[in-house]
Homo-oligomer: A and B are copies of this chain.
Amino acid sequence: MTPVTDEIRVRRGHENASYDPDLLRQIIDAGYFAHIAFQHGGQPVCVPMMYWREEDFLYWHGSTKSRAMLAGAGDEVCITITHWDGLVFARSAFHHSANYRCVMLFGTAERVPEAHKPAHLHTLMERIAPGRDDDLRPMSAQERKGTALLRIPIDRVSAKVRSGPPRGDPADADWPVWEGVVPVAQTFQPAISAALTEADRETPDNIARLEGVSI
């Protein structure tokens, strides 16, 4: 993976950008939700979406009518994946901060051909609930046509991470105020069945396994 343009990189200053491929993949694979930015009708637009990684490509999908699909093939996009890990309290307002892991990916959106859609959508479902796709009512040709699937290569990308305690001015060390971190956790909760029949209500293992998993 290669860095983003120098212009972006240089302006980042001392904010600890990283281009380590393992770190990048770890941050990407830890999440499900991202924000995608693109130009639309002359203005920047930022839309939430689900994503997944396969090898060195990042995929996203949606109804052909959804906002995330306003960015089409050939459009320049920036996809940002952020895990908020905590609020950081220092002895001066200036040194307050947030802990987070963030990956920014830049690329030109590519449309995935119709014939390849089923395999990629299968991978998404396998990621969330292994085995579930085989149990579902199969997708119709019309549904497949109504589902847009896009991707970008993961090659213009960088990570940024802040972790750990406050790092304030040593001159403030004796100032009498609490300093520390309030962590933030985002986790899956116990499943809620929507089934109307008694027989369907037991949560299957491939869903129940999500409970307590951090995002």
Write the residues of chain A forming the contact surface with B, with a CB cutoff of 8 angstroms.
5, 7-8, 11-15, 32-33, 35-41, 43-48, 50, 63, 65-67, 70, 76-80, 82, 84, 86-87, 89, 91-94, 96, 98, 100, 102, 104, 106, 121, 125, 128-129, 132-133, 135-140, 143, 146-147, 160, 165-166, 172-173, 175-196, 200, 202-204, 207, 210-211, 215
Partner of A178, one of B38, B39, B195: B195
CB of A121 to closest CB in B, whole Å? 6
Partner of A137, one of B8, B15, B37, B91: B91
Closest B-chain residue to A66, C-beta based? B15
CB of A150 to closest CB in B, whole Å? 14
Which A-B residue pairs are the 4 nearest by beta carbons?
A13-B65, A37-B37, A37-B46, A165-B194
Choose among A47, A178, A191 the residue with the greatest number of B CB atoms under 10 Å from its CB.
A178
Assess the B45–A78 pair: CB atoms within 8 A.
Answer: yes
Measured between beta carbons, the chain B residues less than 8 angstroms from A82 are 33, 35, 48
- Bound-state Cα–Cα, A32 to B86, Å: 11
Q: How many copies does the complex hold?
A: 2
Assess the B185–A166 pair: CB atoms within 8 A.
Answer: no
Closest B-chain residue to A11, C-beta based? B70
- Bound-state Cα–Cα, A73 to B209, Å: 47
Assess the B136–A91 pair: CB atoms within 8 A.
Answer: yes
Measured between beta carbons, the chain B residues less than 8 angstroms from A45 are 8, 37, 78, 104
Assess the A44–B188 pair: CB atoms within 8 A.
Answer: no
Assess the A204–B183 pair: CB atoms within 8 A.
Answer: no
Given contacts A40-B8, A44-B39, contact A177 B207 (CB under 8 A): no
Given contacts A136-B91, A187-B185, contact A78 B11 (CB under 8 A): no
- Bound-state Cα–Cα, A83 to B101, Å: 17
Measured between beta carbons, the chain B residues less than 8 angstroms from A50 are 98
Closest B-chain residue to A118, C-beta based? B93
